Structure 1
Amino acid sequence: MACALSLLALVLAPLLVNGQLSERVGPLTSASSKAAYKTCNVLDYGGVADNSTDVGAAITSAWEECSDGGLIYIPSGDYALETWVTLSGGKATAIQMDGILYRTGTASGNMILVENTSDFELFSSTSKGAVQGFGYVYHREGSISGPRILRLQDVSDFAVHDVILVDAPAFHFVMDTCSNGEVYNMAIRGGDEGGLDGVDVWGSNIWVHDVEVTNKDECVTVKSPANNIQVESIYCNWSGGCAMGSLNADTVVTDILYRNIYTWNSNQMYMIKSNGGSGTVTNTLLENFIGHGNAYSLYIDGDWSSESTVTGDGVQLSNITFKNWKGTEADGYSRGPIKVVCLDTAPCTDITIEDFAMWTEAGDEQFYVCENGYGEGFCLESDGDDTTAYTSTISVTSAPSGYSAATMAADLSTAFGTVSSIPIPTIPTSFYPGLTPISSLGAAATTA
């Protein structure tokens, strides 16, 4: 079903859309066919659903038996994860994680690492499978140096869906040099602290959709190198917000699409960030964004002070379009809804801002600020041969027409903090106002 939907999305996508997927995504064979070939239940390898016995060795043993065509099954129940699992070299395999894994180990690294694997699927048939990282144990002591929850490294033709990741000591989910993947129907809930990224992705031809993230850092972020990444129906519910970067030396990012992104009470709606460096970002479309209560909205910063300066004249941005942005920012006087800061040594070119209507929640004035950005819209200067350094600031004292936008019923009223356990949520049934998930939740299929 996921593969069919992916192909349908490609057929329906506008022909001129920047950043569309380049080919099919998802596993090559279904989880049911893998299970029919061979099923390895962790309970048969020493796993016990008592939230006390370490299930790490049982998962590893089940993987060794079923990684070359088969399904590793973690039944419903509560399991302790004391030793991390590295699952390497599989082909045509799946993990059905219907149970909940609770971190009891203290090592660094990755609690679950899947690497050098093809035709892979990680999912919960009930949409209740989860990993509880208990990151607050680290965070209340001021540390974010604990383990990451989930990392996929050099994995191709894959899917991760219908699973929940909660309170990672460090990052929640990283896709490192992966390809032809689909990630969907997920809830990620982390502490109110920087360095607790939701989803980080770099690689080729990856579709991320219908994901909710709560934290205080990256929501869903593309890093270099990356091409043909499609991100849509994302719910940044009290988060850092979506982003690209930080971009460094030899950046290569092209054909990126973000669409239908809802951002509530976060640091930004979208940010492209770098400080020096080199390389290019091209052919990027960011459309249908709704935001409320965010510190920043549209934010490009080529001189981002939170990143150490990288050698180089700067990352060159070109053919970037921001289209159909609506809503409100927290304070448009101190942090205006448009901030485009490009280096005079690497001016941004062919930037388009259109159908953009946002207004401040505090006061009655907001600012648009542009530096060395060329293209069409608002404070940008027109493209041309002359890219002389400039700064432009536009003050606005009346609300633009059409800025009003819908909110979501599940918008959080407060952050989860860093000193107590974060509860495991349910996966939402909507990730953007008025839209249902592109693929039905696994639980719906189970109960049908």
Structure 2
Amino acid sequence: MIFNTALLAIGLAPLLASAQLSGTVGPTTSYATKASNKICNVLDYGGVADKKTDIGPAISSAWSACKSGGVVYIPSGNYALGSWVTLTGGKSTAIRMDGTIYRTGTAGGNMIFIEHTSDFELFSSTSKGAVQGLGYEFHKEGSLSGPRILRLYEVTDFSVHDLALVDSPSFHFSMDTCENGEVYNMAIRGGNSGGLDGIDVWSTNIWVHDVEVTNKDECVTVKSPAKNILVENIYCNWSGGCAMGSLSTDVDISDVLYRNVYTWSSNQMYMIKSNGGSGTVSNLVLENFIGHGNAYSLDIDQQWSSMSTVSGDGVQLNNITIKNWKGTEANGAQRGPIKVNCAADAPCTDVTIEDFAMWTESGSYQKEICNNAYGSGACLKSGSGGSYSTTVTVKTAPTGYSAATMAADLKTAFGTVSSIPIPTIPTSFYPGATPISALAGAQATSS
């Protein structure tokens, strides 16, 4: 099999990004090295691109043959996945998924589950590889009990990129207890319902960038425990929006940076959600956010009514910086652009809100709410302790709130009763920002 030089360069070396990361991320062995060692084509292990034959056993067999160092290759074509695959162990392995996998099985769990693996890469060399979950077949019956599309557990030194994950019956992509990972150049498109999370991460030293998410729940969300997480160039295009949580007991999250996040017609631009609980969130930066048409903008809510109360005085939030937010919210009188509602027995401390300019799309005023939150900016109170509650009514639009939109902003959400089309991975994820890495398909074409 012949590979061009651009493709061979994919995964050439682990990357060290700036800001919150603690070290390098990504595979430690290049794709070229893996491919030169061994290529396991699923067509040689019983796979058939007929959209009928279950490709699950072929993927598992190819993985077993290549997991000590090599490439599992899924060529272009349409495949059926009737039985889920659990890929365990292995080192210095890649899965090159250039075909489209359609869910045909109905079990719960995870369609693709990768665990206890290191120096790993999952990608499409054409940027056209996809998994079509056909979740609407569950959702139209009112069920969210179907499988997740992709879950990584205890995977280190890895990347996932240039793939589309579409219409999952449940969550789309979870990273659980992983380390040193990079996720980029992806499109996730789900139904317009809660419980269909885009990307959830509770891991260490993870870089997520240049990703578009459409759904009605989590866009890119950090859960506990997590440390050294960098999320940037994110396009929440008719989504639930980015978030942290929900947070429960013994929370341990630190050193998280979100920047260049564009949110359109979503539930929120960013939300931290809890109700009771314990533990800490520290060193969080939310910078360069643009929003339009969202129900909530900044929404820190430690009395989140959609979550049952858990034991504890509340999660301690400390050293939180929100800066350079622009755009508009749907209705600032009903849901103002700033809500910092912290627990009375665990007040938020060292919170900074600066360069925050948003205005309402409906009506002539908006509200800011701060409860038990200490720091500087907006309605925050100086100091560090004691309970208080304040609501500020703003009747004049702030200077500089006008912000760019994106050409691909959806006019309506995808429903839950019909098939959702597989998208093309975009080449722009935030106004004015160039993607950090070119699409793999573009690199291959230009070489």
What is the TM-score normalised by the length of structure 2? 0.97
State the match for 1:402 in structure 2.
400
Q: Hey, what's the Cα distance between the residues in 2 that align with 1:148 and 1:47?
A: 22
1:259-408 alignment runs, 5 A limit: 259-384=259-384, 387-408=385-406
CA–CA separation in structure 1 for the residues paired with 2:66 and 2:31: 12
Deviation at 1:2, TM superposition (A): 5.5
Q: Is residue 2:4 matched to residue 1:6? A: no
2:211 aligned counterpart, secondary structure: strand
CA shift for structure 1 position 3: 6.6
Shift of 1:39: 0.3
The root-mean-square deviation of aligned C-alpha atoms, in Å, is 0.9
Post-superposition offset of 1:388: 2.0
Following superposition, the deviation at residue 430 of structure 1 comes to 0.4
**Could you tell me which amino acid in structure 2 is paired with residue 435 of structure 1?**
A
The CA distance in 1 between the partners of 2:400 and 2:77, in whole Å, is 49
CA distance in 2, matches of 1:427, 1:5: 23
Q: Which amino acid aligns with 1:447?
A: T
Residues 198 and 217, structure 2, Cα contact 8 Å, conserved in 1 = yes
Identity rate of aligned residues, in percent? 73
Equivalent in the alignment of 1:75? 75
422, 442, 445: which is aligned to 2:443? 445
CA distance in 1, matches of 2:140, 2:403: 36
Structure 1 unmatched runs, 5+: 14-19
Q: What amino acid is the match of 1:6?
A: L
**Structure 2: gaps (5+ residues):** 1-9
8 Å Cα contact 2:118-2:156 kept in structure 1: yes
- The answer for the alignment partner of 2:427 in structure 1 is 429
Question: Conserved in 2, the CA contact under 8 Å of 1:110 and 1:150?
Answer: yes
8 Å Cα contact 1:328-1:360 kept in structure 2:
yes
- SS of the equivalent of 1:381 reads coil
Q: Could you say what secondary structure the match of 1:431 adopts?
A: coil
**CA–CA distance in 2 between the matches of 1:359 and 1:422?**
33
Write out per-residue CA displacement over residues 256-295 of structure 1, whole angstroms, 9 at most, x where no aligned residue: 0000000000000000111111000000100000000000
* Runs ≥4 residues deviating over 4 A: 1-5
Distance 2:226 2:370 in 1: 26
**Structure 2 residue 37 is matched with structure 1 residue 37:** yes
- TM alignment of 1:130-149, pairs within 5 A: 130-149=130-149
Residue 6 (structure 1) shift: 2.9
1:179 alignment counterpart = 179
- Between the aligned partners of 2:14 and 2:269, the Cα distance in structure 1 is 27
Preserved contact between residue 11 and residue 31 of structure 2 (Cα < 8 Å): no
Q: SS state of the match for residue 35, structure 1?
A: helix
Match of 2:6 in 1: none
Aligned to 2:192: 192
CA contact (8 A) 2:13 2:27 kept: no
SS at match of 1:418: coil
Provide Cα deviations, 1:63-105, integer angstroms capped at 9, x if missing partner. 0000110000000000000000000011110000000000000
Structure 2 CA distance, aligned partners of 1:126 and 1:203?
28
Distance 2:46 2:310 in 1: 49
2:4 matched residue in structure 1 = none
Return the alpha-carbon distance in structure 2 between the equivalents of residues 2 and 32 of structure 1: 8
Report the residue type matching 2:120 in the other structure. F
Take 1:31 and 1:86, find their aligned partners in 2: how far apart are those partners? 22
Q: How far apart are 1:446 and its partner, in Å?
A: 1.0
CA distance in 1: counterparts of 2:89 and 2:13, whole angstroms: 26
For 1:119, the equivalent position in structure 2 comes to 119
- From the superposition, tell whether residues 181 and 5 of structure 1 become closer, same or farther in structure 2 (CA, over 3 Å): closer
CA distance in 2, matches of 1:418, 1:121: 31
